[in-house]
């Protein structure tokens, strides 16, 4: 069904659940390293493998991170709360229950304000933010797709099992109409920026440290009751959040318009064509048999502790933006371009790493945005860090790279060839600044053009241009043209 | 109070991942009924305003410093595994979806 | 020379320390005794001959080189319940599910025993995953009571109580979720202690019912139990429910009690623990014990704990609920048994088939019961209501301890019953823990000390002494005084085992 037609008949209702992996040193309930990657089953212990007899002990930093996230989202912090066990069997879950908060979340009832592309501010209510643990990872072997269906067997790695997660759940988001997909994306973007500012997570959607499940339903215009919702999982980029919501709206619109019913189910987002597909139907309704986790004692944060944490909150992204806009002397329009390119924080970090704001801005909104578009990824997902961009900028400033060479260095970093300096070495891109080598090239060019050499010696300095051009050609553009010119004149005046 | 049917026992067995036999369904239906009817006596206690006790120690805020602690090697982790492959636990194909 | 297996742990430690004998000699004599009699009583599931002798040798080497002993129990052999993990030594919990499983880590209790120079002889038999009161639910066959091998040695820690009563070990470790240390102690004429919940680490104790499980010492004398209590007790950062406080001064209390003077001690007799279902000989032994305590100067008062009558039903909701969740991890994926993995079956099918094949009837029964009690629609009436009853029982204890220093009762309603007598009647089996369960629900400490033999069947009876949380020393003092008042140890009256 056409998107406009859906909106002429229905109101979309959203609910977003975001899982954030914290970047603590260790896991939620044990001292195993919390690190992405790593050889399989090397970051495990009796506790995160669920070995008989093992017990959990809660990571203090994870609790503080949870509270700081709650405070940044304007939530209340529980005076007393507990963990519960969510019981269900799944091979990637070592205990066959997830230790999670259930009816007593550590943070609840908050909100997040977001700015849409045109500057409109939307307030999204936050239902809760609670602590839980991640599962292990399964690798499905055999079958055509490497996916779960058709696999012959599976291989389990528990390095991720027990990694601290914060699940942030919005209240229902209504009344956004045609902008629902955009709101969904803006929410996840704003949340990501906030979490990055808090320094609590790597927020890498491509690595799964930020994961979004989108609940979507439609209700006929003018009606009060919500329609049946679906929950779309596996939405692994900001762009996908927007696409998934939009797709579900049109799909559900078509089903409802055709007199059909929406089935309450989990759906999977297909990156390739932007569609969602139904998951396997559950034979029996889930009954998680939650009960308070007897192996962990209640958490009762003192108000002093909460206020102390409130004092550690960094400048919020929106405050920071106001300040940055002023610092960089940008007009509203210029700044919005930067925002829409998803480049504010990247530019800011590049500036923090020592670059000028003009240079940093120029790199991120032009060349790097182009590269992101070519690869169809978010700017932030490009495999280059602000520190690396800042290094490239400083190499140019030091005269070690020309702008053209600098782009080649950036290409090398994006291609995974290493740090900028390594790429310079490996690709042999350094500006030739060794006077010895340059002098030799200059002498050679002068010898090849005796008539021009004569003119220069006679005081016609303007004739040097041809010699400089030849030297640049001979050094494949890696020489500093200004220095070459100086050398030419020097050689002709001795 | 309770009157546990065979079907209910079958449902419980499914939730508990137990491939019980037909004979067991009958035995358990009878025994669970007896036990549940007896333990249902807890309902006789008027306890509306009584807070539940989940823990018998009055402790709160027990935390661990965020410091790495030596865990198991891959070999130790896999030593008890029924099957292993490429440093991972090998398990039969999984039918259900991730939750 | 004296038979080393008849000595107490305190005596053995002293002889080892003064080089009157060696830890190796003591260990070897117990290993010999095990070889000689265990076929008749089946206390052990695994005997670690090499590990035991190695540990004993280390103790002897230390003494030879003039080092001070690692603890007051250095060199003394011990039988460890097979529910505590032992690195490099099999741990089965009496289940087929864990047959052959060798843990890659030590429980904190295990580690503390090793550090104290206590010699671990092996792992003792138990009801599967500690579910039972007779050790008949062991997948490896029952243990037998040395007083009468046709009878149960109690459970779930029947292997540990048997090892003590058969003089296979002077010390043992048990775990007590609803009475699994105290009830076996009572029916074998030995001492069993459930410390305050949180007083002994649960790290490495394979969980049955997490909010109730507590490891504790088993011995033939109160002093030996106290010495062992101080070795295994104390704060453990690996267990979030471990109490961060010093171990109560139980050894000093046991020594003080041995003087036999209880002047100034107020003892409450729980009125709810008598009547129907109590064997007359048990009640008579209990009444005599109370008179003995009065004779030692204690003030005796009757105390009513009305909600104790709901302890058993509350327990049989909380315990299966936690158990259904704790035992979910046995799923054939990472360790333990796996059946029917023939390449055609799914992980889900293999899990269900393995759990069906690997668990015995009682374990399945409790898993199903707990699954029911926690499921949507039943939670409030069952699990939720049971947790409220638990609050009321704790309040009963609080009120009682406002009036008295300790409470006493029979440990069990009957003496050891016959093997097979109750296996098909779960409710009858559950009654064995009638008197021991309240202390588990409230987390308070309790112990069982032999109070003599029942006059009708000549079998041991236990006296239960209960104290407020963290006041474990009070019950040691009373129990030691009572023990001192008796004409020798009850266990010394056990007959010699007939070995086929
Ligand atoms: Mg969750
Ligand atoms: Zn771990």
* A117 CB-side CA count, 13 A: 11
Phi and psi at residue C65, to the nearest 5°: -90, 10
Q: Examine the pLDDT at C35 and tell me if it is beyond 80.
A: yes
Ligand nearest to the CA of B99: 1
- Rounded to two decimals, what is the model's pTM? 0.88
Torsion of CA A236, A240, A241, A244, to 10 degrees: -120
A141 to chain B: nearest residue by CA? B93
Q: Which fold has domain B6-45?
A: Histone, subunit A (1.10.20)
Strand partners, C450: C462
Bridge partners, residue A316, by sequence: none
Catalytic option among C22, C29, C71, C81: C81
What is the distance between the alpha carbons of residues A168 and A163, in angstroms, rounded to a whole number? 16
Taking an 8 Å cut-off on Cβ atoms, the answer to whether C381 and B45 are in contact is no
Q: What is the pLDDT along chain A (494 residues), one digit of tens a residue?
A: 899 999 999 999 999 999 999 999 999 999 999 999 899 999 999 999 999 999 999 999 999 999 999 999 999 999 999 999 999 999 999 999 999 999 999 999 999 999 888 878 999 999 999 999 999 999 999 876 666 677 899 999 999 999 999 999 999 999 999 999 999 999 999 999 999 999 999 999 988 999 999 999 999 998 989 999 999 997 989 999 999 999 999 999 999 999 999 999 999 999 899 999 998 665 556 799 999 999 999 999 999 999 999 999 998 888 888 888 899 888 888 888 888 888 888 998 999 999 998 999 999 999 999 999 999 888 888 999 999 999 999 988 887 888 888 998 999 999 999 999 998 888 877 776 667 778 888 888 888 888 888 888 888 888 888 888 888 888 777 777 888 888 888 888 76
Residues from chain C that touch A297, judged by Cβ atoms under 8 A, are 240-241
A458-477 per-residue burial string, b: 16 or more CB within 10 A, e: under 16: eeeeebbeebbebbbebbee
DSSP A211-249: EEEEEEEEEETT--S----EEEEEE-SHHHHHHHHHHHH
A113/A116 Cα distance (integer angstroms): 10
SS3 A182: helix
Tell me how many degrees the CA angle B93-B98-B99 measures, rounded to the nearest 5.
150
What domain range includes position C461? 4-258+446-465+474-493
Rounded CA gap, A3 and A14, in Å? 16
Among all chains, which residue has been given the structure tokens 């038999």?
C125
In this structure, what token pair is assigned to residue C135?
């050790």
**C443: nearest Cα among C254, C198, C206:** C198
Q: Which helix (H) or strand (E) holds B11?
A: helix B6-15
* Averaged pLDDT, C398-410: 98
User: How do strand C119-124 and strand C77-81 relate by DSSP bridges?
Assistant: parallel
Q: Which two tokens stand for residue A149?
A: 């269906």
What residues have CB less than 8 Å from A444, skipping those under 6 apart?
A: A474
pLDDT tens per residue, range C300-358: 999 999 999 999 999 999 999 999 999 999 999 999 999 999 999 999 999 999 999 99
The arithmetic mean of pLDDT across residues C12-16, rounded, is: 98
Neighbours of A145 (CB within 10 A): 9
Compute the distance between CA of residue C212 and CA of residue A89 in angstroms, rounded to an integer: 24
Q: Is the peptide bond before C361 cis (omega within 30 degrees of 0)?
A: no
Neighbours of A113 (CB within 10 A): 12
CA distance A78 to A188: 24
Nearest to B94 among A96, A154, A294 (CB): A154
- Which among C185, C253, C260 has a CA at the least distance from the CA of C220? C185
Distance separating alpha carbons of residues C421 and C427, to the nearest angstrom: 12
Q: Cα separation of C493 and C160, whole Å?
A: 19
What span, in angstroms and rounded, lies between the C-alpha atoms of A56 and A62?
13
**Ligand 1 centroid, distance to A130 Cα (angstroms):** 8
Comparing CB atoms, the residue among C335, C349, C385 nearest residue B43 is C385
Instruction: Dig out the tokens for C179 from the structure.
Output: 């009475």
Residue C81 bears catalytic tag: yes
Whether residues C394 and B40 touch (CB distance < 8 A) is answered with: no
Predicted pLDDT of residue A440: 81
Short-list A247, A264, A240, A277, CA closest to A149 = A277
Is C143 annotated in the active site? no
Percentage above 90 pLDDT, chain C: 96
Chain C residues whose CB is inside 8 A of the B8 CB are 372
Assign C411 a pLDDT band (cuts: 50, 70, 90). very high
Q: What is the rounded distance in angstroms from the CA atom of residue C147 to the CA atom of residue C153?
A: 9
Best B31, B36, B39, B91 member to test C by mutation, with max C CBs in 10 Å, is B39
Mutation target to probe the C interface, by most C beta carbons within 10 A, among A294, A297, A299 is A294
Q: Which of C210, C321, C343 sits opposite A295 (nearest CB)?
A: C210
Contacts of A148 in chain C (CB under 8 A): none
Backbone Cα Rg of chain C: 21
Chain B nearest C-alpha distance from A298 (Å): 5
pLDDT given for residue A484 in this prediction: 84
Q: Report every protein residue that has its C-beta within 5 angstroms of ion ligand 2.
A: A 30, 32, 45, 47-48
Task: Please give, one letter per residue, the 3-state secondary structure of C72-140.
Answer: CCCCCEEEEECCECECCECCCCCCHHHCCCCCCCCCHHHHHHHHCCCEEEEEECCCHHHCCCCCCCCCC
Domain A435-492: which CATH number of 1.10.600, 1.10.3470, 1.10.10, 3.30.1540 = 1.10.10
Average pLDDT, chain C: 97
Tokens standing for B62?
């027990």
In B, which residues are within 8 Å of A100 by CB distance? none
Asked if A96 reaches chain C (Cβ–Cβ under 8 Å), the answer is yes
Residue C97, CB half-sphere, CA atoms under 13 Å: how many? Answer: 29
Rounded distance between C-alpha atoms, residue C128 and residue C421, angstroms: 18
- DSSP reduced 3-state for C435: coil
Q: Which of C71, C133, C134, C156 is catalytic?
A: C156
Domains identified in chain C, total number? 1
pLDDT in tens, C349-387: 999 999 999 999 999 999 999 999 999 889 999 999 999
Residue A167 Cα to ligand 1 middle (Å): 6
Please tell me the distance between residue A32's alpha carbon and the centre of ligand 2 in angstroms. 4
B92/A156 CB distance under 8 A = no
**Dist CA C188 CA A158 (whole Å):** 45
Residue B99 has pLDDT above 70, yes or no: no
CB contact under 8 A, C243 and B28: no
What's residue A342's pLDDT? 83
What is residue A38's predicted lDDT score, i.e. its pLDDT? 92
Type and span of the H or E element at A97: strand A97-100
Q: How remote is the CA of residue A283 from the centroid of ligand 1, in Å?
A: 21
Whether C156 is catalytic is yes
Residue partners of A147: CB distance under 8 A and separation at least 6: A140
Prediction ipTM score: 0.97
CB atoms within 10 A of CB C144: 24
C-alpha radius of gyration, chain A, whole number: 29
d(CA C484, CA A129): 59
Distance, in Å, from the CA atom of C165 to the CA atom of C50, rounded to the nearest integer, reads: 24
Confidence (pLDDT) at A146: 60
Which position has the token pair 């066990």? A85
| Whole-Å CA distances, A455 to A445, A471, A473, A482, A483 | 14, 17, 21, 20, 20
- The residues of chain A that CATH labels 1.10.10 are 435-492
Q: What single-letter DSSP state applies at residue C450?
A: E
Contact A167, A130 (CB under 8 A): yes
Residues of B in contact with C313 (CB under 8 A): 38-42
How far is the alpha carbon of C66 from chain B, nearest alpha carbon, in Å?
A: 33
The CATH code of the domain that includes C223 is 3.90.1300.10
Nearest one of C283, C274, C304, C291 to C404, comparing CA atoms:
C304
Q: CA A62, A64, A69 angle in degrees (round to 5)?
A: 95
- For B31-82, write each residue's pLDDT tens digit: 999 999 999 999 999 889 999 999 988 999 999 999 999 999 999 999 999 9
Q: Could C328 and A96 be called an inter-chain contact, meaning their C-beta atoms sit closer than 8 Å?
A: yes
């Amino acid at each position: 069904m056409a998107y406009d037609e859906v909106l002429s008949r229905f109101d979309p209702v959203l609910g977003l659940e975001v899982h954030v992996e914290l970047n603590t040193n260790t896991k939620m309930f044990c001292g195993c390293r919390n690190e992405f990657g790593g050889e399989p089953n090397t970051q495990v212990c009796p506790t995160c493998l669920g070995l008989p007899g093992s017990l959990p002990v809660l990571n203090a930093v994870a609790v503080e991170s949870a509270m700081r996230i709650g405070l940044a989202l304007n939530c209340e912090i529980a005076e007393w709360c507990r963990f519960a066990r969510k019981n269900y069997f799944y091979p990637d879950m070592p205990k066959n229950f997830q230790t999670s908060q259930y009816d007593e979340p550590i943070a609840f009832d908050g909100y997040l304000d977001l700015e849409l592309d045109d500057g409109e501010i939307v307030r999204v209510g936050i239902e809760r933010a609670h602590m839980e643990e991640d599962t292990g990872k399964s690798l499905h072997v055999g079958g055509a797709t490497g996916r779960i269906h058709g696999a012959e067997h599976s291989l389990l790695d528990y390095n991720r099992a027990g990694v601290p997660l914060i699940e942030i759940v919005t209240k229902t988001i209504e009344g956004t109409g045609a902008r629902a997909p955009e709101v969904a994306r803006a929410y996840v973007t704003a949340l990501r920026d906030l979490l990055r500012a808090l320094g609590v997570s790597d927020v890498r959607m491509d690595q799964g440290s930020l994961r979004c499940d989108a609940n979507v339903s439609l209700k006929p215009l003018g009606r009060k009751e919500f329609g049946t919702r679906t929950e779309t999982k596996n939405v692994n980029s900001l762009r996908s959040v927007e696409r998934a919501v939009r797709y579900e709206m049109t799909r559900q619109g078509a089903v409802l318009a055709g007199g059909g019913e929406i089935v309450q189910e989990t759906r999977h987002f297909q990156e390739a064509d932007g569609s969602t597909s139904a998951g396997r139907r559950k034979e029996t309704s889930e009954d998680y048999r939650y009960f308070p986790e007897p192996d962990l004692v209640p958490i009762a944060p003192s108000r002093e502790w909460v206020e102390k944490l409130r004092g550690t909150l960094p400048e919020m992204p929106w405050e920071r933006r106001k300040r940055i806009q002023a610092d960089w002397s940008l007009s509203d329009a210029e700044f919005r371009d930067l925002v829409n390119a998803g480049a504010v924080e990247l530019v800011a970090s590049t500036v923090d790493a020592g670059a000028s704001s003009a240079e940093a801005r120029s790199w991120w909104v032009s060349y790097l945005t182009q590269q992101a578009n070519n690869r169809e990824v978010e700017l932030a997902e490009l495999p280059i860090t602000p520190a690396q961009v800042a290094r490239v900028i400083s190499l140019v400033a030091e005269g070690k790279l020309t702008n053209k060479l600098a782009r080649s260095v950036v290409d090398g970093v994006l291609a995974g060839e290493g740090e900028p300096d390594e790429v310079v070495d490996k690709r042999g891109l350094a500006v030739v600044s060794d006077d010895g080598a340059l002098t030799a090239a200059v002498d050679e060019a002068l010898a090849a053009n005796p008539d021009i050499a004569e003119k220069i010696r006679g005081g016609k300095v303007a004739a040097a241009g041809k010699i400089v051009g030849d030297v640049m050609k001979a050094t494949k553009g890696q020489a500093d043209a200004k220095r070459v010119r100086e050398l030419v004149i020097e050689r002709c005046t001795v | 109070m309770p009157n546990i049917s065979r079907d209910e026992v079958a449902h419980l067995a499914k939730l508990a991942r137990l491939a019980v036999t037909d004979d067991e369904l009958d035995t358990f239906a009878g025994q669970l009924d007896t036990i549940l009817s007896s333990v249902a006596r807890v309902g006789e206690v008027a306890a509306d305003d009584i807070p539940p006790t989940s823990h018998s120690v009055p402790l709160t805020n027990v935390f661990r410093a965020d410091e790495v602690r030596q865990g198991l090697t891959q070999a130790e982790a896999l030593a008890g595994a029924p099957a292993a492959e490429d440093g991972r636990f090998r398990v039969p194909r999984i039918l259900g979806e991730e939750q | 020379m004296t038979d080393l297996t008849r000595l107490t742990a305190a005596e053995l430690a002293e002889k080892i320390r003064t080089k009157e004998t060696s830890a190796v000699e003591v260990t070897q004599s117990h290993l010999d005794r095990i070889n000689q009699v265990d076929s008749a009583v089946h206390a052990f599931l695994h005997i670690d001959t090499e590990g035991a002798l190695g540990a004993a040798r280390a103790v002897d080497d230390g003494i030879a080189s003039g080092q001070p002993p690692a603890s007051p129990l250095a060199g003394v052999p011990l039988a460890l319940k097979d529910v505590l993990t032992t690195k490099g030594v099999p741990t089965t919990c009496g289940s087929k599910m864990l047959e052959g499983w060798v843990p890659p880590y030590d429980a904190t209790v295990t580690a503390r025993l090793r550090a104290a120079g206590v010699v671990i002889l092996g792992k003792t038999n138990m009801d599967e995953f500690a579910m039972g009161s007779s050790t008949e639910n062991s997948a490896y066959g029952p243990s037998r009571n040395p007083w009468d091998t046709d009878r149960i040695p109690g459970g779930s820690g029947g292997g540990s109580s048997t090892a003590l009563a058969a003089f296979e070990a002077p010390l043992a470790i048990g775990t007590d979720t609803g009475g699994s240390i105290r009830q076996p102690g009572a029916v074998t004429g030995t001492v069993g202690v459930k410390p305050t919940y949180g007083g002994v680490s649960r790290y490495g104790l394979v969980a049955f019912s997490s909010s109730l499980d507590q490891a504790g010492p088993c011995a033939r004398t109160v002093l030996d139990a106290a010495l062992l209590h101080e070795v295994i007790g104390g704060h453990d950062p690996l267990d979030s429910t471990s109490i961060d406080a010093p171990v109560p001064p139980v050894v000093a209390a046991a020594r003080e009690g041995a003087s036999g003077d209880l002047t100034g001690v107020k003892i409450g007799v729980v009125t709810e623990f008598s009547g129907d279902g109590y064997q007359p000989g048990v009640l008579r032994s209990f009444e005599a014990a109370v008179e003995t305590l009065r004779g030692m100067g204690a003030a005796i008062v009757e105390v009513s704990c009305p909600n104790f009558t709901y302890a058993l039903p509350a327990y049989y909701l909380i315990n299966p609920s936690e158990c259904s969740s704790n035992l979910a991890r046995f799923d054939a994926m990472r360790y333990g048994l796996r059946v029917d993995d023939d390449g055609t079956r799914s992980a889900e099918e293999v899990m269900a088939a393995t759990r069906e094949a690997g668990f015995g009837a009682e374990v399945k029964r409790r898993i199903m019961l707990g699954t029911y009690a926690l499921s949507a629609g039943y939670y409030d009436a069952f699990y939720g209501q049971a947790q409220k009853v638990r609050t009321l029982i704790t309040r009963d204890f609080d009120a009682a301890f406002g009036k008295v220093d300790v409470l006493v009762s029979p440990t069990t309603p009957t003496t050891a019953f016959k093997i097979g007598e109750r296996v098909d009647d779960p409710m009858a089996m559950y009654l064995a823990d009638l008197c021991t369960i309240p202390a588990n629900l409230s987390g308070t400490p309790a112990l069982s000390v032999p109070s003599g033999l029942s006059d009708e069947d000549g079998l041991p009876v236990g006296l239960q002494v209960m104290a407020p949380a963290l006041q474990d020393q009070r019950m040691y003092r009373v129990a030691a005084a009572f023990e001192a008042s008796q004409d020798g140890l009850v266990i010394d009256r056990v007959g010699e085992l007939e070995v086929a």
